[in-house]
Amino acid sequence: MPERNKIAVVGAGHVGESCALLAAQKELGDVVLIDIMEDMPKGKALDILEGSPVEYFDVSVTGSGDSTDLSGADVVIVTAGSARKPGMTRDDLLNVNAKIVSAVAVDIKKNAPDAFVIVVTNPLDVMAWLVRKVTGFKREQVVGMAGALDSARFRAFIALELDVSVKDVHALVLGGHGDSMVPLVRCASVSGVPLTDLMEKEIIDRLVERTRKAGGEIVKLLGDGSAYVSPGASAVMMAEAYLRDQKRVMGASAQLSGEYGLDDIYLGVPVKLSGRGLEEIIEIDLSPEEQKMLADSAEEVRSQIDILR
């Protein structure tokens, strides 16, 4: 029997648990859920495993408090860190989560030097930049989940507004994973029909603003905690694209090296993900207004990176 892939999820909170469940359901490989609280990931892993006869997935799901269990991982999904609380921005988490993610990055470098790393921890673009800096990995090896989730949220809101299937809605969101993100309205469509032909500008503007504030909307409604199912699904979609060499084109936070006129920064852009990891960053022509919004978003991310420097 051929050896199965291994997916390591670091951080066994709600997001990590969602990643482990979805990766197991898709049978992407054996899953290990790792957390500094040793018993908790074991309990969550056992819970997922006990659901396998019901959902008909047949992979190993284990929990661990030992970072050496990263060894042999083909994919590492980083969710470790504090979640947002009501009134907090993603930026408020910067210093707290930088310490946690730096330690995780050291563990990845030591135990899984060949892994494809997907960063979910907020503030996401900065944490992805930090993981690459600490590990020294090639840029093809480290991406952030943001663009995939932000685009999914925009698509969901469009589908709700038009009362159509989300399967027929396509959209793209660029920029940092925060309130300055840039939903590209001209790239949004429903089965090829431009969004601008289907909605008034006032409605589109409202959906754009809701997309930018989508994470905060969920934080406020939950009262304690933040989104976890949609971030988990987005991260697993990226893992699947890598493990199954799907050559998927989607939004992701990627290391820019001159693309879009930006350098040494992680930012949400359209990319191609394949078995090579980050195979390509796709550059599209932006209008002057779009370029300015992207530059403004990049400046927000860069200001946080400067704090870490």
Residue 14 annotated as catalytic: no
Q: Is the pLDDT of residue 84 over 70?
A: no
Is residue 93 one of the residues assigned to a domain? yes
pLDDT for the residue 198: 98
Q: Taking CA 243 as the corner, what is the angle to CA 239 and CA 249, rounded to the nearest 5 degrees?
A: 65
Residues 167 and 106 in one domain: no
Residues 227 and 79 in one domain: no
pLDDT for the residue 133: 97
Catalytic entry in 84, 177, 248, 302 = 177
Taking only the tens place, the pLDDT of each residue in 172-224 is 999 999 889 999 999 999 999 999 999 999 999 999 999 999 999 999 999 98
Confidence class of residue 90 from pLDDT cuts 50, 70 and 90?
Answer: low
Q: What are phi and psi of 174, to 5 degrees?
A: -105, 175
Is residue 261 one of the residues assigned to a domain? yes
Mean pLDDT value across residues 266-288 = 97
- Which letter, b or e, does each residue of 238-267 get, where b requires 16 or more Cβ atoms within 10 Å of its Cβ? bbbbbbeeeebebbbbbbbeeebebeebbb
Confidence class of residue 85 from pLDDT cuts 50, 70 and 90?
Answer: low
Residue bearing the bigger pLDDT, 99 or 3: 99
Residues 234 and 286 in one domain: yes
Token code pair at residue 69: 């269990």
Here the CATH number for the domain that contains residue 20 is 3.40.50.720
pLDDT for the residue 89: 67
Residue 161 burial (C-beta neighbours within 10 Å; 0-12, 13-18, 19+): middle
Percent of the chain exceeding pLDDT 90 equals 90
Average pLDDT over the chain, rounded to whole?
Answer: 95
Residues 157 and 134 in one domain: no
Q: At what angle do helices 146-162 and 229-243 cross, to 10 degrees?
A: 120
Q: What is the DSSP letter of 79?
A: -
Element (H, E) at 139: none
Domain that holds residue 234: 147-308
216 contacts 181 by C-beta, under 8 angstroms: no
State how far the alpha carbon of 171 is from the alpha carbons of 30, 33, 165, 249, 309, in Å: 32, 32, 14, 12, 34
Mean pLDDT value across residues 249-264 = 96
- Identify residue 3 by its one-letter amino acid code: E
Token code pair at residue 272: 């191609």
pLDDT for the residue 82: 84
Residues 219 and 125 in one domain: no
Residues 160 and 284 in one domain: yes
Mean pLDDT value across residues 229-235 = 98
Residues 246 and 276 in one domain: yes
Q: How far apart are CA 234 and CA 145, in angstroms?
A: 7
Is residue 202 one of the residues assigned to a domain? yes
Q: How far apart are CA 118 and CA 236, in angstroms?
A: 9
Residue bearing the bigger pLDDT, 270 or 179: 270
